[in-house]
Amino acid sequence: MKQKIKGIRYDYEIDFSKTEFQIFAICKEDNRQSSITNLNTIVGEIVEPILKTNEIENSWVEVDLKKGEKLFSLAIITFTDKHWIEYLEKNLNEDKQQGGWNTKYKFQ
Query: Would you state the pLDDT for residue 105?
Result: 57
Average pLDDT value for the chain: 90
pLDDT exceeds 80 at position 102: no
Q: Tell me if 53 is assigned to some domain.
A: yes
Cα gap 105→46, rounded to integer Å: 21
Range 2-15 average pLDDT = 96
3 state SS of 77: helix
Q: Tell me if 85 is assigned to some domain.
A: yes
Q: Tell me if 105 is assigned to some domain.
A: no
Query: Would you state the pLDDT for residue 107?
Result: 60
What is this structure's pTM? 0.89
**Structural domain span for residue 38:** 2-97
Q: Tell me if 42 is assigned to some domain.
A: yes
- Would you place residue 57 in the very low, low, confident or very high pLDDT band (cuts 50, 70, 90)? confident
Number of independent structural domains in the chain? 1
> Long-range CB contacts (< 8 A, 24+ apart) of 62-67?
62/19, 62/20, 63/19, 63/20, 63/21, 64/19, 65/18, 65/19
